[in-house]
Amino acid sequence: MAADVEEAVAAVRARGLRLSTPRRIVIEALFASPDPVSAEGIAGGLGGRLPKSDLTSVYRNLEVLEELGLVRHVHFGHAPGLYALASRDEQEYVVCERCSRHVALPADRLKRARAAIRDETGYEVRFTHFPLVGMCPDCAAGDGERE
């Protein structure tokens, strides 16, 4: 479901939405970023790789695309939300709250943890929208780095 820009564009049209230039740029930006990007990053044109756009429109388009199920966003700690293609963001994240280094994990890598949480709480959790937070091995070992 939406493996490239044209497919995403088609999905947008299929829902009766229009395809304006700013909207197309947002879509392209998402396909151009291997990692989740902030709205500001997209508005800034990914640092020159794409035309800049209005930040408000970027937010509004991300919202629309998220409703369509094409986009999703993650919150790393207190940082601004980061957006990514839903098709690509089947990953879960763990962030270090000391050095803010983060690791992306394939979808079912934390199956065991999820099952343990389900057993204990009844909740079906995911670490996609709000990632796991903790200490990375280095910071836990005592020597914090970065940030």
Partner DNA sequence: ATACTTGCAAATGATTTGCCAGTGT
Partner DNA sequence: ACACTGGCAAATCATTTGCAAGTAT
Chain residues that interact with DNA, rule: CB under 7 A:
13, 17-23, 38-40, 53-57, 59-61, 63-64, 79-81
Rounded Cα distance, 26 and 93, in Å: 23
Residue 137's binding partner out of a second copy, DNA, none, with CB under 5 to 8 Å set by partner kind: a second copy
CB 22, min distance to DNA, A: 4
- Tell me how long the chain is: 147
Long-range contacts, 57-62 (Cβ 8 Å, 24+): 57/22, 57/23, 57/26, 58/22, 58/26, 61/22, 61/23, 61/26, 62/26
Residue 96's binding partner out of a second copy, DNA, none, with CB under 5 to 8 Å set by partner kind: a second copy
- 92 within 8 A of 84, measured Cβ to Cβ: no
Residue 145's binding partner out of a second copy, DNA, none, with CB under 5 to 8 Å set by partner kind: none
18/120 with CB nearer a second copy: 120
5/64 with CB nearer DNA: 64
